[in-house]
Amino acid sequence: MLSRPGKLSDPLAFAAGFAVLFGVLTILSGGTALFSSEDIRSNFGDVVQTVLWFNFVSGFWYVLTGLGLWAHRYWAVQSSVLLLLAILAVFAYLGVHILDGGAFEMRTVVAMTFRTFCWSLISMMAVKLIPHR
């Protein structure tokens, strides 16, 4: 049986907190890459704009989903699974972009791999621990 939502003994508390923190960091990083001066943006290298915009917008989705998971809301289970599917779709787009000879940064591939791994774990935990009502 789960403890009360948001308690430190709640197995989803860490995952939810991580999702919120990951979302905030994603928003800050993506916002810097998108909205800073040209000098700062040039430090990011060969940015794949579609992936960058998706990651920036999805940062807000991470925060919202993390808050829902913290509160043990079933909609957050659905949101985490949908988020994972969206990440996989954008990762596939990145793969096609690379295979077509498009410019990219290896850190983008690493970041997308990390996002896929994290949201796979988070969504599996959510499906297992938050009952459908």
Query: What is the predicted pLDDT for the residue at 103?
Result: 97
On whether residue 6 sits in a domain, the answer given is: no
On whether residue 5 sits in a domain, the answer given is: no
- Residue spans of alpha helices (H) in the chain: 11-35, 38-42, 49-70, 74-99, 106-129
Query: What is the predicted pLDDT for the residue at 10?
Result: 79
Q: Token pair for residue 103?
A: 């410019």
Query: What is the predicted pLDDT for the residue at 78?
Result: 98
DSSP state of 122: H
- Over 70: is that where the pLDDT of 48 sits? yes
Average pLDDT value for residue range 8-24: 90
d(CA 12, CA 119): 13
Query: What is the predicted pLDDT for the residue at 1?
Result: 45
pTM equals 0.90
Average pLDDT value for residue range 128-133: 88
d(CA 130, CA 133): 9
Phi first, then psi, for residue 64 (nearest 5°) are -60, -45
On whether residue 111 sits in a domain, the answer given is: yes
On whether residue 23 sits in a domain, the answer given is: yes
Number of domains in the chain: 1
Average pLDDT value for residue range 22-40: 96
- Over 70: is that where the pLDDT of 5 sits? no
Residues with Cβ < 8 Å from 34, sequence gap 6 or more? Answer: 41, 52, 53, 56
- Over 80: is that where the pLDDT of 7 sits? no
Q: What's the whole-number average pLDDT of the chain?
A: 94
- For residue 36, the enclosing domain spans 11-129
